Amino acid sequence: MKLCTIGLGYIGAPTSIMFAKHHVEVVGVDVNPSVIDFLNEGRLHIEEPGLQEALSEVIEMGTFKASLYPEKADAFIISVPTPNHNDQWKSCDLSYVLSAVKTIIPYLEKGNVVIVESTIAPRSMDDFVKPLIEQAGYEAGEDIFLVHCPERVLPGQILHELVYNNRIVGGITDACAEAGAAIYRTFVQGEIIQTNAKTAEMSKLMENTFRDVNIALANEVAKVCNELEINVLEVIEMANKHPRVNLHTPGPGVGGHCLAVDPYFIVAKAPETAKMINLSRLINCSMPEYVVKSINTLMENVHGKTITLFGLTYKGNVDDIRESPAIEVMDLLKAQGKYEIRAYDPHVNSSIVMNKMEEAVHQSDLVVVLTDHNEFKWMDDEAFSNMRNKRVFDTRNIMNVMDKEVEYINLGTLYM
């Protein structure tokens, strides 16, 4: 089988490499020439455990190459970004997906399978993608097998989840779903469930929406508990002892290119109806401001004005700062102009962070943990020894501070 993938980002690159590892001939296409050069040289442009080794393996095997241009193939997989439109309800911007479909049309042949993996608003396949294929003279389900198979892998464990997660394969017709399922049987060991395209679109969105709504509930409970002087972390731990309760973890907000983006796609399609989904977005988006307000309170009687932020990525152990609540906290603090703000993040390679932790905490008055990187979980006695005021505010509730001189505050003990 020959596969042509369009988009070599956080999903497209690992997916392409995984197929190539399983002896499929893969041409990976991206519009960014430096990504193409990097990959063809066997170098990775994103951080993901195990992926560098897998890339080296498929380059060695000769089953993967990156290119600026598509080629004829048996199947095409589109994994390009679907950001929010800048409109009232932040609807789904399909322009990258539709332009990817237009790019492959000249290379299509009867019998090809075309799969969209990008997360898309409900009905996008039926209302926008299928008409493009039909305008090109093909009948979906007869000439071209058109499929939405949403990606569902968790950054940080993509290679494992690509193989072991269940896949939802939504076809425009049953024959499309069957043709799509056959492609994923190459390496997927989870269940491959066939359905129609709009059910697949909506179920993918509901997975991320479920998580966003649950986190919003946890964040709201955190605010309520702080008002009532109750430790929210203990409350959640106790409540989760019930066999049918699974409250998520409160934090500085919800980031990344999935949970902070996808629920709006549903809201935009049914704004009068999707009230809880919209409210959850509002609650999660209020968290950076809540963290800043808490920082201001903690800094009230402190003479020094230096704050060190630990972690800028949207979550732990990744290098992705898209929609990161930590960046929003940093920007809000800087906009106040009251403090000297420093940032330290061992996963971010940029001038916005300081390279050495010792320098970042030197004479600092408050360390604020914003990302749950493993590096921050166990801090030894020396870590905070050169701070001016030894105080840590851990918005991720993950740090184990050994140094008894350090005052440690997390979301559960903020009120004290």
Of 130, 148, 248, 373, the one binding ligand SAJ by CB under 6 A: 248
Active site residue 204: yes
Helices 325-336/287-298 angle, 10° precision: 50
Q: Judge contact between 233 and 411, C-beta under 8 A.
A: yes
Is 292 strand, coil or helix?
Answer: helix
Helix (H) or strand (E) holding 344: strand 340-344
333 binds ligand SAJ (CB under 6 A): no
Compute the distance between CA of residue 324 and CA of residue 260 in angstroms, rounded to an integer. Answer: 9
Q: How far is the CB of 100 from ligand SAJ (least distance, A)?
A: 17
- Coil/strand/helix, residue 58: helix
Query: Which is the catalytic residue, given 149, 176, 225, 258?
Result: 258
255 is an interface residue for ligand SAJ by CB under 6 A: yes
Which whole-number Å values give the CA distances from 299 to 38, 212, 252, 371, 392, in the listed order?
A: 45, 30, 18, 20, 11
**Mask: binding to ligand SAJ, 123-162, rule CB under 6 A, as x and -?**
----------------------------xxxxx-------
From the list 119, 124, 280, 397, which residue makes contact with ligand SAJ (rule: CB under 6 A)? Answer: 119
8, 177, 235, 258: which one binds ligand SAJ (CB under 6 A): 258
Active-site option among 90, 130, 204, 315: 204
Given candidates 254, 268, 274, 343, which one binds ligand SAJ under the rule CB under 6 A? Answer: 254
Q: How far is the CB of 250 from ligand SAJ (least distance, A)?
A: 7
Residues 118 and 101: beta-carbon distance below 8 Å: no
Strand (E) positions, 128-209?
A: 145-148, 167-171, 192-196
Nearer to ligand SAJ, 28 or 150 (CB): 150
Distance, in Å, from the CA atom of 151 to the CA atom of 114, rounded to the nearest integer, reads 15
Buried b (16+ CB within 10 A) or exposed e, 149-165: bbbbbebeebbebbeeb
**Cα separation, 411 vs 363, whole angstroms:** 24
**Whole-angstrom Cα distance, residue 69 to residue 230?**
58
* Closest distance of CB 372 from ligand SAJ, Å: 7
Window contacting ligand SAJ (CB under 6 A); options: 102-110, 249-257, 302-310, 342-350: 249-257
Query: Binding ligand SAJ by CB under 6 A: which of 256, 263, 288, 412?
Result: 256
Among 114, 259, 268, 401, binds ligand SAJ (CB under 6 A): 259
149 is catalytic: no
DSSP string, 336-395: HTSSEEEEE-TT--STTSBS-HHHHHTT-SEEEE-S--GGGTEE-GGGGTT-SS-EEEET
d(CA 191, CA 166): 5
207 binds ligand SAJ (CB under 6 A): yes
251 binds ligand SAJ (CB under 6 A): yes
The answer to whether the CB of 314 falls within 8 A of the CB of 283 is no
Structure tokens at 261: 């983006």
Residues numbered 376 to 405 that lie near ligand SAJ (CB under 6 A) are none
- Which C-beta is closer to ligand SAJ: that of 331 or that of 405? 331
Per CB under 6 A, 317 contacts ligand SAJ: no
Among residue numbers 208 through 237, which ones bind ligand SAJ (CB under 6 A)? 208, 211, 215
Pick the closer one to ligand SAJ by CB: 118 or 308: 118
Number of residues that bind ligand SAJ (CB under 6 A): 20
Nearest CB to ligand SAJ, comparing residues 315 and 342:
315
CB atoms within 10 A of CB 59: 19
Minimal distance, residue 165 CB to ligand SAJ, in Å = 8
**Which residues are marked as active site?**
204, 258
Catalog residues that contact ligand SAJ under the rule CB under 6 A. 119, 151-155, 207-208, 211, 215, 248-249, 251, 254-256, 258-259, 314-315
